[in-house]
């Protein structure tokens, strides 16, 4: 069993406190339930603990955690037992707060994973398309196309429900 030194424990706790809310929101946007989300968040930070990685900055640290969390969520969604679950047998989840943004939020959650990730990073985390391209190892044009596709899907969906701007 490896002994964690006091300084390492404090450093890990600092990273955890800085980024746990962001990672939780990201994981929840993929997995849509608290239990799986908590598992994914825990797995993300366990990967960080096991990686023994040093980062250039807090932004680099955050980007690494976001990519790891996204991959963990995507893998969870591909898992065989998820594919065999009957969605109709699952009880609908109650939202903690009802507000005007609910339909927009639901429309974002319904986006395909490739679009959902870029929408989340762009609108909720404030990353530029250049930063996302570097973070996700994709060309800038791909990121911009995914954002454009997501906007078109969201606009169409919101026009159907009467919530378009």
Tokens 């591909």 appear where? 78
Give pLDDT tens digits for 76-129.
Answer: 888 755 555 555 555 555 444 444 567 777 788 788 887 888 888 888 888 888
Residues composing the chain: 165
Percentage, residues of the chain above pLDDT 90: 26
Query: Is pLDDT above 90 for 68?
Result: yes
Specify the long-range contacts of residues 28-37, CB closer than 8 Å, at least 24 apart. Answer: 29/108, 29/109, 29/116, 29/120, 30/70, 30/73, 30/74, 30/76, 30/77, 30/113, 30/116, 31/73, 31/76, 31/77, 32/93, 32/109, 33/93, 36/76
What DSSP character marks residue 142?
H
pTM: 0.55
Which pLDDT band, with edges at 50, 70 and 90, does 1 fall under? very low
């Amino acid at each position: 069993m490896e002994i964690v030194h006091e300084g390492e424990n404090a450093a890990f706790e600092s990273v955890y406190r800085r980024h746990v809310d962001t990672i939780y929101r990201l994981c929840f946007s993929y997995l849509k339930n608290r239990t799986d989300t908590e598992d994914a968040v825990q797995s993300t930070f366990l990967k960080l603990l096991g990686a023994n990685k040093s980062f250039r900055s807090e932004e680099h640290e955050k980007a690494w955690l976001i990519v790891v969390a996204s991959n963990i969520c995507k893998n969870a969604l591909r898992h065989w037992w998820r594919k065999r679950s009957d969605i109709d047998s699952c009880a609908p989840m109650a939202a903690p707060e009802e507000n005007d943004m609910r339909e927009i939020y639901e429309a974002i959650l319904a986006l395909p994973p490739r679009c959902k990730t870029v929408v989340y990073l762009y609108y909720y985390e404030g990353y530029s398309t250049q930063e996302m391209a570097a973070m996700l190892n994709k060309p800038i044009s791909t990121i911009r196309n995914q954002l454009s596709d997501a906007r078109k899907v969201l606009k169409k969906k919101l026009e159907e429900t009467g919530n378009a701007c």
